[in-house]
Amino acid sequence: MKTPQSFKKKLLASLIATSLVGLGTALPTSALAASADATLRGNTAPHTQVVIREIATGLTRKTESNGHGVYVLLGLPPGTYTVHAGSGPEQKVKLNVASTVTLNLQTASESKATELAAVKVTAQTINIQDMSTSQVGSNVSLHQIQNMPAASRNFLQFADTVPGMVFSRAANGDTELQAGGQADSAINVYIDGVSQKNMVLPGGMVGQNASQGNPFPQLAIGEYRVITNNQEAEYGMLSSAAIVASTKSGTNKFKGDAFYSFNSTGMRAATPAENAAGKKTPSTDKDFGFDFGGPIIKNKAHFYIAYEGKKFNTPTVVIPFAPQVYVNQLPASVLSQVGPANLPFLENNWFAKIDYEPTDRDRFVLETHIRNETSISGVGGINTASAGLNTINYQKTADLAWEHNGYDWFNRLEATWQDAAYQPTPIALGIGNAYTAAINTNYPLNPNQIILQTGNSPLAQQYKGQRGIGIFDHFTYDGLQWHGSHVIKAGFNLQRVTLTAQDAGDSNALLYYKVSPTTGTEGTPYQAQFGAPVPGLSPVSVSNNTLFDAFLQDTWTFNKHWTFNVGVRADYDRTPAYLNYVTPAPVIAALNTQAPGAATGITYAQQLAQGGININNYVSNGSNRSAKLHFSPRLGFAYDIDGNQKHVIFGGVGRTYNHNLYDLLQVEQTKYVLSQPTIYFGTASQPCLSGQTPCYAWNPSYLSIPALQALVAGSFAGKEVDMMPNNLKTPYSDQFSIGMRNQIGEWDTSVAVTRVLSYDGLTGFLGNRAPGGAFWVHEPWGGVGQPWTYPLPGFGNLILWGNSLRTSTTQLLLSAQKPYTEESGWGLTVAYTYTHARWNMDNQALNNNYSFDAEYPYQYPFIGEPVAKSRIVIAGTLKGPWDIAMGARLTLATPIPGVNLACYSDPNSPSGCIPVAATPQGSHFLVGGRIWGYRDFSVQFTKNFKLWGLNAYARADIINLLNWHNYSSYIENYGSNGVLNKYPVAYNPLGEISGYPRYVKLTVGVQF
């Protein structure tokens, strides 16, 4: 029977939620949240007390079944528990992160429902899978994290064992996690329920952008769940996948682990570039760390601390982007920098946690995470070592949570703080050089294509950061009975985050030189780009953002067959730097200036209107922009065919809103304050062209940055102007899914078809227009091109922004998993993904947001995205003889198309160029011919033994055992005379590779 006290606790929960609304208006905040806890529910005798206890920590929770015998235990940290109803037998059950599972409990009919008698514990642990969820996804267990082969300590790398996910490593060591054919910024990662979203830069997770490091200590991760489609309403700020991870906690026993991993030059195979050079670039790779935890007060309070360090030199390769006839004409001093190079890196990564449970109803958790990275980056591809960057990347967070359990409700209140920044600075300050292809009809290269770059533009010096504090509250109630049982979740998050962006500096400049395949490299530059600050104005854009979201969702178990999930989410995002921005008066004056070359009296704004651009849609007076409130409905279902959790059909539809990255929004302000003007010089092969202004005669004194700045002092000549739309939209995705899960013996299988339509991605396009509003103009050299020679009068190029990017992705997701158990001694996961993805863009990088190759972005044709059509991951673990644990993983993927602007005199394009996605031929693997673009077979062996009374181990990871070369750079030859080559794109056998060459990592460690 429910007591009056339980009513009082319900009232307390209501008061908590009510009081937080008032508190939230006074306290700024900084983190989104979603539940990482588990829910256990099922049937037993009516009005029976159900008790669950976590074995490792002693955490105990109690509830009482209702008059229908239904019980629900909410807010349970992932772990292994014993659970019993009344005096019935105890069962040992494993609860996974962010899951809702069903377990029916027996009672002893001869005992009273509230009697706690001696009971018998079942020997085998039941690992219950979440079969009735409408979400698409799967779990990554601690056993998989510890036993699958791995070259790095990035815990996200194991996510690609889930269909629909791709974890990749570039040649420079940077890693990326993406899902659903979308950019990495479309994902969101939650650690212990707190979002790690990067609101400024790509990467999805803070610390995952342009980094060779690990965003969080892998030792501290207990397990995580990957939800690729149809997320419930509590998940936000994403448009593809959600990663929900839980961290380890201290237990009632003191436990720890320490390890050291090592790789050196002789323990890896040479890269293709090193083979061509005849020598390896020296490299080292060291990972080291420890964790330690235990009781402060047994069964009440525990502590846990983890540290991981990383120190290495990663080999990369500098390779010109042009046919060899161009490369041969580069200066000898430049050619000497072509070939292998390395990238040093150092990281320190800390995590600490204290939990305290003063009662069996309350739990307090305090966590902190500190990560610091320093590295040399930006080297590789067309960038030589002298174009490298000294990069600082750090993150600091702290979270304090209070969890309170009632008999049929649960509340989590949490306060958070974060401070993160990414700061690259050029190694070499001053003047640098870039070499571009001169026009030659025998080699149809884009004349703006950089062949090699030996220095940095002013854009290389940046600072991007986010800092703030926050509070959120999530409330769960399971006492509603109406045509079945309901679990109601409601919550809100209020954020106050200061976003900071500096997009450039004035300590670097870049001079551009033309390279001819016949006459060589010109002795004087034809173009210069440098930083030109506006006196009295700060080059740093700061925005004190306010974000608010609230959600309500109902998991409705209608009967033993049908489960429905109905939810709605509201998101509000206010960015003052965008909303309050006032278009500078000089820009407005320039728009109303006589358009060069146009009829008398035609202003540049009128010339834009002739081309279909209403510039008033971009001119801001500080009050004509507004923040918007977005609503995201989510609907899902699961149909259990036999009502026994064995065969379940599931599906759902929903909308998810992401976030406009501040790295894009800030250019409207920073490009004007510290612009990077482009000026021109007349050369022998390229004299000052009509409309290409400002243009000067070359003088050696311009090898000084102050001398270049003096050319534009007191003017805006050559300075780029960026303008955001006044009706800026938020990117979103509409998701659809249908599938079926099955439990067949020890195997869990799943098949799903998903469809994701994404809209309103932010892109920048060229706003310049020629007289009459024309976009395509005849160039002095005879071709047709964009109106680069018709910039905004008195300024440089005009870049307009809009929400024009669209993607459509259909995926077939197949998985089969036999979880590892001690009894069987083995586990196996098979994941297959088929992807059909298209978008209106022609960039190889999914997070490249510029669309300069068409008059308007919506005129881009829908072409294939740079994602593999088919991807297979097979991963297994085995408990071998002599106490040796083994793991293996096979990854296969079809080639990634080369996406670019193909210039071959196409008769249907004014410029003779069209966007193309061309798939190169791959390599062989067993059957199917040359269809594979990525092949990797990796293994690990771990030998456990005793050392001075401690559990010690030695481990060997062999990555890419067969030393397959997974090429990632292309040789392009699209054709000529209007005829597209049959195979316009091929892998460059001397270029960069993704992943690793054969790589051996040795690890030793102790556990105590």
Which residues have CB under 8 Å from 236's CB, separation 6+? 32, 34, 188, 195, 493, 549, 551, 569, 571, 632, 656, 657
Q: Strand 508-516 to strand 520-521: parallel, antiparallel, or no bridges (unpaired)?
A: antiparallel
Question: Which residues lie closer than 8 Å to 660 by C-beta, 6 or more apart?
Answer: 575, 728, 730, 731, 762
- What mean pLDDT do residues 63-70 have? 89
β-sheet bridge partners, residue 947: 950
Q: At residue 805, does pLDDT exceed 90?
A: yes
Mean pLDDT on 829-842: 96
Least confident among 116-130, 700-714, 800-814: 116-130
Give pLDDT tens digits for 516-543.
888 899 999 999 999 989 888 899 999 9
Q: How many CB atoms lie within 10 A of CB 109?
A: 9
Spatial neighbors of 494 by CB under 8 A, at least 6 apart, are: 24, 27, 28, 29, 470, 471, 472, 546, 547, 548
Question: What pLDDT score was predicted for residue 9?
Answer: 38
d(CA 988, CA 968): 8
With a cut of 80, say whether residue 17 has pLDDT above it.
Answer: no
pLDDT at 30: 31
pLDDT number for residue 124: 60
Mean residue pLDDT of the chain comes to: 90
The domain spans of the chain are: 31-127, 139-247
Least reliable range by pLDDT among 90-94, 780-784, 903-907, 984-988: 780-784
Contact 107, 86 (CB under 8 A): yes
**Quick one: CA dihedral 493, 6, 40, 486, positive or negative?**
negative
How many other CB atoms are there within 10 angstroms of residue 977's CB atom? 9
Is 29 a residue whose pLDDT tops 60? no
Higher pLDDT among residues 10 and 828, named by residue: 828
Rounded CA gap, 79 and 242, in Å? 21
Q: Which amino acid is at 23?
A: L
Other CB atoms closer than 10 Å to residue 361's CB: what's the count? Answer: 16
Reply yes or no on whether the pLDDT at 121 is more than 70: no
Band of residue 8 on the pLDDT scale cut at 50, 70, 90: very low
The answer to whether 370 and 417 have CB atoms below 8 angstroms apart is no
| Environment class of 927 (CB within 10 Å of its CB; exposed 0-12, middle 13-18, buried 19+) | exposed
Q: Tens digits of per-residue pLDDT, 721-749?
A: 999 999 999 999 999 999 999 999 999 99
* CA–CA gap between residue 804 and residue 821 (Å, rounded): 50
Reported pTM: 0.90
Say what the pLDDT of residue 233 is. 96
Query: For a pLDDT cut of 90, what percent of the chain falls above it?
Result: 75
Question: Each residue of 161-186: pLDDT tens digit?
Answer: 999 999 999 988 889 999 988 999 99
Residue where the block lists tokens 């659970």:
83
Q: Are 831 and 811 in contact (CB under 8 A)?
A: no
Alpha carbon separation from 237 to 626, 662, 761 (Å, rounded): 19, 14, 14
Q: What is the mean pLDDT of residues 700-707?
A: 94
Beta strands 430-437 and 508-516, pairing class: parallel
Q: For the chain, first and last CA: distance in Å?
A: 46
pLDDT band with cut points at 50, 70 and 90 for residue 437: confident
Query: What tens digit of pLDDT does each residue of 565-613 get?
Result: 999 999 999 999 999 999 999 999 999 999 999 999 999 999 999 999 9
32 vs 583: which has the higher pLDDT: 583
Is the model's pLDDT at 915 over the cut of 70? yes
Distances in whole angstroms, Cα of residue 1001 to Cα of each of 150, 208, 807, 914, 956: 9, 23, 39, 45, 6
139-247 topology per CATH = Ferric Hydroxamate Uptake Protein; Chain A, domain 1 (2.170.130)
195 or 114, which is more confident: 195
- Give the confidence band of 847 by pLDDT, cuts at 50, 70, 90: confident
Q: Quick one: pLDDT at residue 137?
A: 94
CA distance 579 to 36: 35
pLDDT at 34: 63
CA 402 to chain centre: 29
Which residues on neighbouring strands pair with residue 932, listed in sequence order? 923
- Confidence at 116, pLDDT banded by 50, 70, 90: very low
Q: Which residue has the higher pLDDT, 713 or 834?
A: 834
Query: Which distant-in-sequence residues (6+ apart) come within 8 Å of 604 by Cβ?
Result: 590, 591, 592, 593, 594, 595, 792, 793
Average pLDDT of the residues in 618-636: 97
Task: Extract the tokens encoding 806.
Answer: 């669209």
Alpha carbons within 13 angstroms on the beta-carbon side of residue 271 total 31
Gap between the Cα atoms of 457 and 433, Å rounded: 9
The DSSP symbol for 86 reads T
Mean pLDDT on 406-414: 93
Residue 418 identity (one-letter amino acid) = Q
Residue of 350 and 33 predicted with greater confidence: 350
Parallel, antiparallel, or unpaired: how do β-strands 100-102 and 38-43 relate?
A: parallel
pLDDT, position 754: 98
Residue labelled with tokens 């991605």: 761
506 in Cβ contact with 674 (< 8 Å):
yes
Q: What is the mean pLDDT of residues 696-700?
A: 92
Per-residue pLDDT at 113 exceeds 50: no
- Does the domain at 31-127 match CATH 2.60.40.420? Answer given as no
> What pLDDT sits at residue 684?
80
In contact, 513 and 525? CB cutoff 8 Å: yes
Q: Which of 311-325, 635-649, 874-888 has the lowest mean pLDDT?
A: 311-325
CA distance 741 to 755: 18
Query: Which secondary structure element, helix H or strand E, spans residue 60, and what is its range?
Result: strand 60-64
- How many CB atoms are closer than 10 A to CB 935? 19
Weakest-pLDDT range from 19-33, 141-155, 577-591, 912-926 = 19-33
- The pLDDT assigned to 963 comes to 97
Who's near 431: CB < 8 A, 6+ residues apart? 455, 508, 509, 510, 511, 703, 704, 705
Work out the average pLDDT over 76-89: 92
